[in-house]
Amino acid sequence: MIIKRIPVGPLMANCYIVGDALTKEVIIIDPGDEADKIFSVVEEDGYKVVSIALTHAHFDHVGALDAAKDRFGVPVINKEGIYHVGRHEVKALKTPGHSDDGLSFLCGNCVFTGDVLFRMSVGMTDLGGDFNTLRRSIHELYKLPEDTVVYPGHGLTTTIGKEKKYNPFVRAAYE
């Protein structure tokens, strides 16, 4: 499986290139900014973009969306459902709270959470979000296997197990 993290823009949002190592088909998750930087990774490695996926529509996650749509002419995934990239299934899960339109993308033992769940933190809710909704979404993510790797919208990876145990904002047990 291909997973490449590309921090972009002034807020260092994580754009991910995710796909099938055999077919080289990929999706771009959250093309937040610096389109040329994203395109360079795609073209250097000879990837074929089959879709673009959005965890939510805040500016730091969609800044290069129009450029990517123009460049690759592929559909945008912005709703729940099952999608495919090469031999891999990608399940878009509704995870609102940071924003009303929040999605997380589950692929194998990896989940791309946007700004819902971070390493030892959670997304803010002051831009139209709701903490109770965010908390419910995170508890749904906590139902994933503990070894599921979390790829957040900012910062470094973690696992569901670590977050359930150590995240100071949302503990595994319902409080």
State percent of the chain over pLDDT 90: 93
Residue 174, pLDDT above cutoff 80: no
- Name the fold adopted by 2-166: Metallo-beta-lactamase; Chain A (3.60.15)
Residue 68, Cβ density class (10 Å: 0-12 exposed, 13-18 middle, ≥19 buried): buried
| pLDDT per residue as tens digits for the range 47-98 | 999 999 999 999 999 999 999 999 999 999 999 999 999 999 999 999 999 9
Listed by start position, the domains of the chain span 2-166
Per-residue pLDDT tens digits for 144-161: 999 999 999 999 999 999
